[in-house]
């Protein structure tokens, strides 16, 4: 990855957690076509400043992505993905050298370059299926990896998704992918799982997963939930504009936290951080 800082050491097993308690993962899409914020942060300087603002609002991790995975989206070239994220990563680390950054990619080459430049986690929406080299990249870096469930691929995933039992099927998939990751040498304490809310799921599938999230938590890995601003929230509330689905997103965050989720991937950091602070005080008073 060109135009990036010198190579930094990635954390060893388990050291990605910035403190105890729930962790806000701030979304930073440097894409023209993401469903909610596409085009907002194409300028690297604006993107880096937004990243700093999210850190100041309470994000523990920043999730940087250069390719949209919204329903119906088309893939881009690896070169374009790197071109988009490289200057933004450089700008963030110039401002906040200790920032914990995740790279949202399924490509081994992009992940390698980003890790060398200072990224500390890999967020793979294909759960190590999209690139046969990704598992070895994560294993060699000894960094945490987020394994997400997705039925199909972004281009077609919302065309009549079907499950016989969505909770059990997603749970079994994540268990199998975690087993695959461990067999590839990735340390179990570096595995995070994500049920993939909105990725090849309809409204009822999403609600069932959130309602029964403890089944995913019981796998024994930290669970990330990414429901922020998604269409199913609009279907419930009638809020059509994605950027206005803040209150519905906060509800999913608090409910998922009560069910045992650890990480929450969101656009609106402050609102979700404040809600989690109250929820944590209610549920875990001893941490105050």
Q: How confident is the model at residue 199 (pLDDT cuts 50, 70, 90)?
A: very high
Structural domain boundaries enclosing 254: 23-282
Least confident segment among 34-38, 208-212, 283-287: 34-38
- Residue at 287 is within a domain: no
CATH of the domain at 33: 3.20.20.20
Query: Is 265 among the catalytic positions?
Result: yes
> 28: how many CB neighbours lie within 10 A of its CB?
28
Question: For residue 140, what are its two tokens?
Answer: 């060699």
- Residue at 13 is within a domain: no
Q: What is the pTM of this model?
A: 0.88
pLDDT value at residue 42: 74
pLDDT value at residue 159: 76
How far apart are alpha carbons 179 and 173 in whole angstroms? 10
pLDDT value at residue 156: 65
Q: How confident is the model at residue 15 (pLDDT cuts 50, 70, 90)?
A: very low
- Residue at 273 is within a domain: yes
Question: For residue 191, what are its two tokens?
Answer: 């595995």
> 129: how many CB neighbours lie within 10 A of its CB?
15
Q: 107, 171, 177, 265: which is the annotated catalytic residue?
A: 265
The count of domains in the chain is 1
Query: Is 201 among the catalytic positions?
Result: no
Question: For residue 78, what are its two tokens?
Answer: 């690896």
Q: How high is the mean pLDDT of the chain?
A: 88
Burial of 251 (0-12, 13-18, 19+ CB in 10 A): middle
The pLDDT tens digits of the residues spanning 96-154 come to: 999 999 999 999 999 999 999 999 999 999 999 999 999 999 999 999 999 999 987 76
Checking if the pLDDT of 214 tops 90, the result is yes
Q: 107, 171, 230, 273: which is the annotated catalytic residue?
A: 230
The length of the chain, given as a count of residues: 288
How far apart are alpha carbons 249 and 197 in whole angstroms? 12
**CB-based contact 237:245 (threshold 8 Å):** yes
The pLDDT tens digits of the residues spanning 95-110 come to: 999 999 999 999 999 9
**CB-based contact 27:41 (threshold 8 Å):** no
User: For the packed helices 134-141 and 108-117, what is the interaxial angle rounded to 10 degrees?
Assistant: 20
- Residue at 16 is within a domain: no
């Amino acid at each position: 990855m060109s135009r990036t800082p010198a190579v930094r050491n990635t954390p060893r097993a388990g050291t990605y957690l910035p403190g105890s308690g729930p962790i806000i993962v701030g979304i930073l899409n440097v894409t023209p076509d993401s469903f909610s914020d596409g085009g907002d942060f194409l300028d690297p300087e604006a993107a880096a400043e937004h990243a700093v603002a999210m850190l100041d609002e309470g994000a523990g991790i920043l999730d940087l992505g250069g390719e949209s995975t919204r329903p119906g989206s088309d893939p881009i070239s690896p070169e374009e993905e790197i071109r988009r994220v490289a200057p933004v990563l450089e700008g963030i680390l110039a401002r906040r050298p200790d920032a914990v950054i995740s790279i949202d990619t399924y490509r081994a080459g992009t992940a390698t370059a980003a890790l060398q430049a200072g990224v500390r986690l890999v967020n793979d929406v294909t759960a190590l299926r999209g690139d046969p080299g990704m598992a070895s990249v994560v294993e060699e870096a000894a960094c945490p990896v987020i394994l997400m469930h997705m039925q199909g691929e972004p281009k077609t995933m919302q065309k009549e998704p079907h499950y016989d039992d969505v909770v059990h099927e997603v749970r079994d998939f994540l268990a199998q992918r975690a087993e695959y990751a461990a067999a590839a040498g990735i340390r179990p304490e570096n595995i995070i799982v994500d049920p993939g809310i909105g990725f090849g799921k309809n409204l009822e599938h999403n609600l069932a997963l959130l309602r029964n999230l403890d089944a995913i938590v019981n796998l024994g890995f930290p669970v990330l939930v990414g429901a922020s601003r998604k269409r199913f929230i609009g279907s419930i509330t009638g809020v059509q504009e994605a950027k206005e689905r803040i209150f519905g997103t906060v509800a999913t965050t608090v409910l998922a936290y009560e069910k045992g989720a650890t990480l929450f991937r969101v656009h609106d950091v402050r609102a979700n951080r404040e809600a989690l602070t109250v929820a944590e005080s209610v549920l875990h008073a001893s941490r105050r």
